[in-house]
């Protein structure tokens, strides 16, 4: 089965304090998305789509794009590489982007920008997260079942495995019934307290308590190209609702998924795997992630280098 890996890599990494998408954190300078690409290709994916800012093209090609284009997929075909640009040029003509705005329009807009690169079932991931090899095998198997319109899949992760001891995080908290996503709530300030409890302190300093095994979305979605029409509709409505001077509000993928579920237009199967997620929200997370990657290489999960 032909399938595409779509990587959202145009974000700024403001809380991290730099461009974490291109921070060489592996034992041989590997960036996090190289692990996702390696895992996806060995799971069966045949195409890699990088969503980037236009000025990142040469850097992305140098870091991993040219090397990926020389890889062979599991079915023996050359891995296809495509670059999609997330910038203001793709914004509909009716909307005037404020001159002071520098922040991208969010993950829903990012995926919409990849429309011309994708004609097969695909998954969407963040560039700055590690998802684990098993998660790619699980979702690749599920993509084949997404034959009809209005179906999607996601890999869910335990909340307690996705928070940072260095500050609050934003997560899509999932409500699941019989393996299907009922709704997803974007929760902005999930914080680990000294006693190990996890609370949402967005509106209350004491915080609403969350169970450690609460399933959350880490933007690991599986779709068919049917979703692009819905993305376009959602993004257009988002822009029409924005105040003329809005500089930071984003159009987020979990919000679109949640709205479609509520309308009965989308059914999302929540997949589980034994894979461990980790990522870098804050620069202080870097040392722990580097150590975890080194241990995976030493255990034989990955070869000594991904750049051989």
d(CA 251, CA 107): 6
Question: Tens of pLDDT along 159-190?
Answer: 998 888 888 998 889 999 999 999 999 898 99
d(CA 163, CA 180): 24
> Once rounded to an integer, what is the mean pLDDT over residues 259-278?
92
What phi and psi values does residue 6 have, to the nearest 5 degrees? -105, 120
Whether the CB-CB separation of 7 and 49 falls below 8 Å is answered with yes
Evaluated on CA atoms 92, 98, 104, 106, the torsion sign reads: negative
Q: Global pTM?
A: 0.91
Least confident of 9-18, 103-112, 123-132: 9-18
Question: Tens of pLDDT along 140-158?
Answer: 999 988 977 899 999 999 9
Q: How many residues are given for the chain?
A: 308
- Range 184-192, long-range pairs (CB < 8 A, 24+ positions): 184/217, 184/254, 184/257, 184/258, 184/261, 185/258, 186/252, 186/254, 186/255, 190/159, 190/163, 191/163, 191/167, 192/163, 192/164, 192/165
Q: Which two tokens stand for residue 20?
A: 């974490």
What phi and psi values does residue 230 have, to the nearest 5 degrees? -65, -40
| All domains in the chain, ordered by first residue | 4-298 (3.90.550.10)
- Is residue 133 pLDDT above 90, yes or no? yes
Q: What is the pLDDT of residue 14?
A: 45
Q: What is the pLDDT of residue 15?
A: 43
d(CA 29, CA 184): 35
What's the Cα-to-Cα distance from 66 to each of 56, 78, 191, 203, rounded to whole Å?
14, 12, 39, 46
d(CA 184, CA 229): 21
d(CA 169, CA 68): 31
DSSP track, 73-135: -TTSSBPEEEEEE-SGGGS-TTS---TT--S---HHHHHHHTGGG--S-EEEEETTEE--HHH
Q: What is the DSSP letter of 63?
A: I
Closest by CA to 68, choosing from 130, 5, 110, is: 5
Q: Which two tokens stand for residue 167?
A: 């500050």
DSSP-derived pairing of the beta strands 215-223 and 169-177: antiparallel
d(CA 69, CA 80): 6
Closest by CA to 221, choosing from 116, 151, 278, 133, is: 151
d(CA 234, CA 239): 9
> Once rounded to an integer, what is the mean pLDDT over residues 38-52?
97
Question: Tens of pLDDT along 224-254?
Answer: 999 999 999 999 999 999 999 999 999 999 8
pLDDT > 90: percent of the chain: 74
Question: Tens of pLDDT along 290-304?
Answer: 999 999 999 999 999
Question: Tens of pLDDT along 2-42?
Answer: 999 999 998 644 444 456 566 688 999 999 999 999 999 99
């Amino acid at each position: 089965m032909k399938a595409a890996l779509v990587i959202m890599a145009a974000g700024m990494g403001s809380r991290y304090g730099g461009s974490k998408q291109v921070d060489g954190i592996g034992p041989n300078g590997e960036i996090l998305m190289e692990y996702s690409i390696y895992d996806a290709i060995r799971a069966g994916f045949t195409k890699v789509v990088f969503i980037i800012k236009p000025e990142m093209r040469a850097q992305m090609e140098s870091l991993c794009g040219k090397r990926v284009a020389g890889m062979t997929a599991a079915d023996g075909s050359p891995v296809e590489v495509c670059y999609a640009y997330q910038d203001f040029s793709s914004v509909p003509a009716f909307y005037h982007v404020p001159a002071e705005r520098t922040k991208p329009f969010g993950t829903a807009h990012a995926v919409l920008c990849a429309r011309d690169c994708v004609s097969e079932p695909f998954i969407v991931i963040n560039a700055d997260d590690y998802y684990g090899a098993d998660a790619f095998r699980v979702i690749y198997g599920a993509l084949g079942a997404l034959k009809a319109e209005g179906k999607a899949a996601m890999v869910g992760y335990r909340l307690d495995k996705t928070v940072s001891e260095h500050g609050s995080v934003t997560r899509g908290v999932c409500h699941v019934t019989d393996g299907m996503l009922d709704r997803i709530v974007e929760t902005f300030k999930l914080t680990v307290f000294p006693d190990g409890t996890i609370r949402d302190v967005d509106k209350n300093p004491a915080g609403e308590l969350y169970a450690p095994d609460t399933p959350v979305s880490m933007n690991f979605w599986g779709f068919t190209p049917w979703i692009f029409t819905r993305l376009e509709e959602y993004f257009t409505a988002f822009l029409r609702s924005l105040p003329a001077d809005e500089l930071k509000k984003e159009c987020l993928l979990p919000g679109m998924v949640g709205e479609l579920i509520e309308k009965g237009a989308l059914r999302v199967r929540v997949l589980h795997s034994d894979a461990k997620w980790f990522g870098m929200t804050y620069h202080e997370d870097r040392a722990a992630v580097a150590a975890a990657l080194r241990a995976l290489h030493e255990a034989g999960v990955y070869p000594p280098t991904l750049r051989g």
